[in-house]
Amino acid sequence: MSLSAGVLRITCVALALVCMTDKTECVSITEIAVPPFVENGTIEPVILDCIYTYDADEDQHLVVKWFFNDDPKPIYQWIPDLNKRSYSKSKIFEGRIDRNYAILSGSKPEHTDKYTKFRALKINRPTTEMTGTYSCSVTSLQGQDTRSKDMIVYAKPRRFSLSFKRPADSQETQFKCQVEGIFPQPQLHMYRVEQTRIAGNEYMNVANMTESLNYSVEPVGHQRRATKDGYLTVLTTSLSNRQFRLSSQSPKSRRHLFFCVYTIPSTDIKQTRVLEFYPERLTSSAISISQNISARLTVILIGVLVVLY
φ/ψ of 291, rounded to 5, equals -80, -30
**pLDDT number for residue 79:** 96
**pLDDT number for residue 249:** 52
**pLDDT number for residue 2:** 40
**pLDDT number for residue 238:** 84
User: Hey, is 274 helix, strand or coil?
Assistant: strand
| CA torsion angle 63 69 73 78 (round to 10) | -30
Domains, in order of start, for the chain: 3-153 (2.60.40.10), 159-308 (2.60.40.10)
Nearest to residue 171, comparing CAs of 73, 243, 270?
Answer: 243
139 vs 48: CA distance, rounded Å: 18
Q: What is the pTM of this model?
A: 0.73
Q: In tens digits, what is the pLDDT along the chain, a chain of 309 residues?
A: 443 334 334 344 444 444 544 545 688 999 999 999 999 998 899 999 999 999 888 777 899 999 999 999 999 999 999 999 999 999 999 999 999 999 987 666 666 888 999 999 999 999 999 999 999 999 998 889 999 999 999 999 999 999 988 777 778 888 899 999 999 999 998 888 766 444 444 443 444 444 444 455 666 677 888 888 899 999 888 888 777 664 445 545 567 788 899 999 999 999 999 988 876 664 332 222 222 222 223 333 333 333 333
User: Do strands 269-278 and 255-263 pair parallel, antiparallel, or not at all (unpaired)?
Assistant: antiparallel
135 vs 133: CA distance, rounded Å: 7
Dihedral (CA of 281, 285, 289, 294) sign: negative
Task: Please give the sequence-ordered ranges of beta strands (E in DSSP) within 74-186, or none if there are none.
Answer: 76-79, 84-87, 121-123, 132-139, 144-154, 159-165, 172-182
DSSP-derived letter for residue 292 is -
35 vs 206: CA distance, rounded Å: 31
Dihedral (CA of 97, 102, 135, 123) sign: negative
DSSP-derived letter for residue 183 is B
